[in-house]
Amino acid sequence: MPVNLSAPDPATLLPVPGVRLGVTMAGVRKANRRDLTVIALDEGAAVAGVFTTNRFCAAPVQVCREHLAAGAAVRALVINTGNANAGTGADGLSRARQTCEALAGLIGCEPQQVLPFSTGVIMETLPVDRIAAGLPGALAALQAANWGEAAAGIMTTDTLPKAASRRITIGGVPVTLTGISKGAGMIRPNMATMLGFVATDANIAPELLQPLVKEAADASFNRITIDGDTSTNDCFLLIASRKAPHAEITSLDSADAKTLREALISLSQELAQAIVRDGEGATKFIAITIDGGRDEAECKLAAYAIAHSPLVKTAFFASDPNLGRILAAVGYAGIGDLDQSLIDLDLDDVAVVRQGGRLPAYREEDGQRVMKQSEITIRVGLNRGSASATVWTCDLSHDYVTINADYRS
Amino acid sequence: MPVNLSAPDPATLLPVPGVRLGVTMAGVRKANRRDLTVIALDEGAAVAGVFTTNRFCAAPVQVCREHLAAGAAVRALVINTGNANAGTGADGLSRARQTCEALAGLIGCEPQQVLPFSTGVIMETLPVDRIAAGLPGALAALQAANWGEAAAGIMTTDTLPKAASRRITIGGVPVTLTGISKGAGMIRPNMATMLGFVATDANIAPELLQPLVKEAADASFNRITIDGDTSTNDCFLLIASRKAPHAEITSLDSADAKTLREALISLSQELAQAIVRDGEGATKFIAITIDGGRDEAECKLAAYAIAHSPLVKTAFFASDPNLGRILAAVGYAGIGDLDQSLIDLDLDDVAVVRQGGRLPAYREEDGQRVMKQSEITIRVGLNRGSASATVWTCDLSHDYVTINADYRS
């Protein structure tokens, strides 16, 4: 059961002028599944993305990077589920390129103007023929109002589609941002991946998109973890159709850019947090904030050490205020000169540790009360600087083991 | 159920001249548990140790380091279970020191000549009074033949005691090495820790012990992982009573030193692997070898990324040859310039991946056959150098979650 997450209300998903989506059943891995999504972009759209840092990245990730680097205007995205086209060597690269060629042929553009995305089973051969055969159906279904369908179309073992919108005003005109995401582990069982797509009609200079998508990813998708496994296929893409009739945003320092950035980050965080809420076997949504660090990097180190500790995660599953596990994780996070005698720990509003020792006033029943909640905030104070960082994670439950141990059987 | 591990046969545990052990019930946390062990060393013994790198290290670890640094001859070790004396601030340090003072008073030495070790619950106050009251009983029980009792006395939630011996010949005389270890996770549920003690009567120059214990730890206890959590209390100690009547070993390059080193590493590996075999919820013992690396450090990075991946570990639990998970872990291990098109993967004698892609000849039933074994070797070839490294781990099962989620309740 997802943690405080429900399917998006279709009425709240706002079309983005210049962006149309179509979903169809191509039988990539199983019949009768809506497993092929095309997102078509009108002329003039600009696209930027961030991709997995996994060195064993999948073929479509490599092709996406090539096509974006080539600089030709992107006209379409093609996303299949059921097969990740990862661990497939040179043949996989060739098949990812064939997918782009097939779609480019149908819509009349160059293959470099198509970006491919694959999620699903690793180390299986991508059935390009079935994908190519499905493309006309996806194209026939293209509609600007199809965000909900696309959110469902990119799901693998997600239990719920993930989508949201924001509306802001720039230069007196309404501007829309709508996004979708998928994923329920950094890698799904043997399904790879987290994907996120956000489109806006904001009229923004194309060269500003890359820093913007990087900043949004760092504040959202790069702050979540379920099991610490970085997928071979992860991607977060920002599309600007640039259709909104306001003066072009040409600087990230402008007030308009700030408005856009805030909405983008808020939307990205909602989409990223939805992945954690739908995390494999998750029963709790946990925000971990480290403050008082010398820099953000060491705050992130400590936050991820806590977020990845199986011992911390099982304690949360059990609602057991076994908080020494959190201190131990901070201790091995890799902050070389950390002074344990300065450390504070709070669980929501409950003060647990000051100066590295348990507070005499701390009562286990207070910790227990917080641990039973479905939404929990951990705060660790390092008391050695003024930097801070927050990451979001979930607990580690029996269902996580069941899902991951039994998925393929 | 431990993986291919049984309790040591007492007859195989050889006394080490100059080393006596006594165990008693002190009621540290629960009544009627043999929870206090004293190891007494004859005059002339030398001791060296390696300790947790956790910055939130427990009070006894800090006191051990101080006492070893002070350089006074160690005459006794005092080890309690039930309470880790970690996360206890300045008061915890004071209590660790009081434990040493109490034992020093009883045996007539300086407090600096006593090393304290505590394992058990974190963030609870160490009951020094009960430990002090138990010391006379432990001293009364001192015997050279008590290694089996001590192995049981330092257990917390281990399911089996862990002890072994080696006998070698140096300078024509028999030399003994006997050791014990405990631990079943890098941190036990809320019990902290892994401990290892090896004693030998080898006559070795005291200044050689530190490099020797470091080398043995790096080849054994530093090569195991159950859940990736580095405890606040981990310690591995090497004791040389120096009673054996052979010429003193004064160089690590000598043939005698090599004989001793080989026996020490073999014994340490057996004791370390016993911890993995008794790992929380373990059903499989997995050796992970990375070869073809540029240096040992990057081989270890890749090996630990595999060993710590919850997805890899749950796949082993399920006997599911979901080997893309292993490739993905190698990919995110942090080897910045890794070329995936060079990577090989073998599962025991089954070749799975060559040059980053699945071998056409690989059949899933062959992978399945290996995955069903209780002992499995993973080999990953990076094909970029000649370095290699091996680590040992276990799978992640439902019982791991049960043990860690339910332990304190």
At residue A409 the predicted structure's pLDDT band, cuts being 50, 70 and 90, is very low
Q: If 0-12 CB within 10 Å is exposed, 13-18 middle and 19+ buried, where does residue B257 land?
A: buried
Name residue A293's beta-bridge partners. Answer: A387
B280 marked among binding-site residues? yes
Q: In what order do the strands lie in the sheet with A173-182?
A: A46-51, A235-240, A195-200, A173-182, A162-170
- How many degrees, rounded to 5, is the angle at CA A76 between CA A71 and CA A77? 100
Domain spans, chain B: 10-277, 285-406
- How many degrees, rounded to 5, is the angle at CA A316 between CA A315 and CA A318? 65
Cβ–Cβ gap B231/A328 under 8 Å: yes
Residue A14 confidence (pLDDT)? 95
Cβ–Cβ gap B328/A397 under 8 Å: no
Q: Mind listing the pLDDT tens digit for each residue in B48-91?
A: 999 988 888 899 999 999 999 999 999 999 999 999 999 888 99
Per-residue pLDDT averaged across A104-130, rounded?
95
Please name the helix (run of DSSP H) or strand (run of DSSP E) that holds residue A391, with its range, or none: strand A387-394
Q: Mind listing the pLDDT tens digit for each residue in B219-235?
A: 888 888 887 777 788 89
* Torsion angle of C-alpha atoms A333, A335, A338, A343, degrees rounded to 10: -40
Mean pLDDT in chain B?
A: 92
What burial letters (b/e) apply to A343-353, b meaning 16+ CB within 10 Å? Answer: bbbbbbebebb
**Phi and psi (nearest 5°) for A178?**
-135, 140
Residues in chain A: 409
Cβ–Cβ gap A330/B401 under 8 Å: no
CATH class of domain segment(s) A10-277: alpha beta
B182 marked among binding-site residues? yes
Q: In what order do the strands lie in the sheet with B162-170?
A: B46-51, B235-240, B195-200, B173-182, B162-170
At residue B402 the predicted structure's pLDDT band, cuts being 50, 70 and 90, is confident
For residues A182 and A82, the answer to whether their CB atoms sit within 8 Å is no
A83 marked among binding-site residues? no
Question: Is there a catalytic annotation at residue B193?
Answer: yes
Decide: helix, strand or coil at residue A54: coil
State yes or no: pLDDT of A191 exceeds 80: no
Q: Write the single-letter amino acid at A15.
A: P
Structure tokens belonging to residue A154: 């990119």
Residue A22 confidence (pLDDT)? 98
State yes or no: pLDDT of B197 exceeds 90: yes
Q: What is the DSSP letter of B171?
A: T
A79, A54, A196: which is closest to B329 by C-alpha?
A: A54
Distance CA B268, CA B18 (A): 20
Cβ–Cβ gap B404/A187 under 8 Å: no
Q: Do the two domains B10-277 and B285-406 of this chain adopt the same fold?
A: no
From A305's Cα to the closest Cα of chain B, the distance in A is 9
Please name the helix (run of DSSP H) or strand (run of DSSP E) that holds residue B295, with its range, or none: none
From B36's Cα to the closest Cα of chain A, the distance in A is 23
- Name the region of B82 (left: φ>0; alpha: ψ -120 to 50; beta: rest): left
Q: What percentage of chain B reaches a pLDDT higher than 90?
A: 76
Chain A interface mutation, best of B358, B372, B382, highest count of A Cβ atoms under 10 Å: B358
Name residue A51's beta-bridge partners. Answer: A235
> CATH number of the domain at B285-406, out of 3.30.70.2190, 3.40.605.10, 3.40.50.2300, 3.10.20.340?
3.10.20.340
At residue A325 the predicted structure's pLDDT band, cuts being 50, 70 and 90, is confident
Per-residue pLDDT averaged across A367-382, rounded?
96
Least confident of A185-194, A304-313, B314-323: A185-194
Residues in chain B: 409
Residue A187 confidence (pLDDT)? 55
Residue B406 confidence (pLDDT)? 65
CA A40 to chain centre: 21
Residues of chain B with Cβ-Cβ distance to A228 below 8 Å are: 308-310
Q: Mind listing the pLDDT tens digit for each residue in A211-268?
A: 999 999 988 888 888 877 777 788 999 999 999 999 999 999 999 999 999 999 999 9
Structure tokens belonging to residue B264: 């020490």
